[in-house]
A = this chain, B = another copy of it.
Amino acid sequence: MYRNRVTSRDVAKLAGVSRTTVSLVLNNVQGIQISPETRQKVIQAANELGYVPDATAQALVSRRTKAIGLVLTRTHHHIATDAFLPKIISGLLTTAKQHNIRILIDWVETEHQESAYFELARAKRIDGMILSTPRLNDSAIKALETADIPTVLMGSVAGSTLPFVDVDNVQAAEKAASYLLDLGHREIACISNAPPEYTAAPERVQGFRNAMARAGASVKERLVCFADFDPESGYRCMKSLLESGERFTAVFVASDNVAIGAKAALREAGLHIPGDISLIGFDDIPWAMYSDPPLTTIRLPAEALAQKACTLLLNLINGRENRQTNRIILETELIVRKSCKAIQ
């Protein structure tokens, strides 16, 4: 099996035709005349030799690598504890596979942001990229907008004209808060999913505020806290809420992953869910339904988001879409489980 590379030249030689013919036959080029017998000979020879075209050579000449990049922008630790990444990857993989495209994962350390984004595409390693949970400063946004690199954001960025795929975070958070309000809660705390630089975070908090205002409930500023993606930050936020001395009967946590930590803090404080405190999450990660009690949450269609992002990017790459006008918003859904209780 230490066989040397099989090239199209070998196939041509075995089939007794030219390399051009091999290429025309195997790529099934339309509008060209090759006799059925020759076709057969070529296909036969290719199978016999186990010919697989060299992807790099194809990429060089066609100027398409048939690969897209998934660019992660967060810290090492946040990637390792991201409960959402598997769904995103699995969504990406299914759509990519349908189009015979590969996925390159890359990681841009925040330090060298602006330049690093381009290197992959400039080096022609990928045909386009998906930026996950972007947090961009203005110069980086502008650079990406004017650059000639098909880019799709997963999650939107304020003030950017880049195509993106996202949910309506404001509306989704309103749903969550309204649910708590409908259950009679008025003193509600809010823990964000991430620091305010990540657009989704202030949006979700805003949704919370909107619902509260509409119901005539006042928001205690000391009961609004910004977490940082992981359970640990949720734990810390909840601790600080409990220590604030403000009373609250329910908490909206804008991320299930953060809620896991928040829940642990409540437990440590001897508080029972939903008996003492109602808790609603956001995302519906796979573990939410197995939580104790099963976590009521807002379902984010993670795989669908990834799939849409992938299709959108492919359309962009193939020039089938106008890059200025592509913003896809998917629906969220309130999943009622058992972590919230009505106020008597």
Contacts and interface: CB of A to CB of B under 8 A. Distances in A.
Interface of A: 1-3, 50, 52-57, 59-60, 65, 67, 70, 72, 76-77, 79-83, 85-87, 89-91, 93-94, 97, 102-107, 118-120, 122-125, 146-148, 230-231, 235, 260-261, 263-264, 267, 286-287, 290, 292, 294, 303
Contacts of A57: 60
* Identical chains in the assembly: 2
A93 to B, nearest CB: 5
Contacts of A148: 1-3
Contacts of A55: 123-125
B81 A286 contact: yes
24 contacts: A2-B148, A3-B148, A50-B122, A52-B119, A54-B60, A55-B124, A56-B124, A56-B125, A57-B60, A77-B90, A79-B86, A79-B93, A80-B91, A80-B286, A85-B85, A89-B89, A89-B105, A102-B106, A102-B120, A103-B106, A104-B105, A105-B105, A230-B286, A263-B292
The 6 closest A-B pairs by CB, nearest first: A80-B90, A55-B123, A52-B122, A56-B59, A79-B90, A1-B146
A287 B303 contact: no
A177 to B, nearest CB: 24
B90 A76 contact: yes
A70 B178 CA distance: 43
A54 B67 CA distance: 15
Contacts of A123: 52-55
A157 B176 CA distance: 47
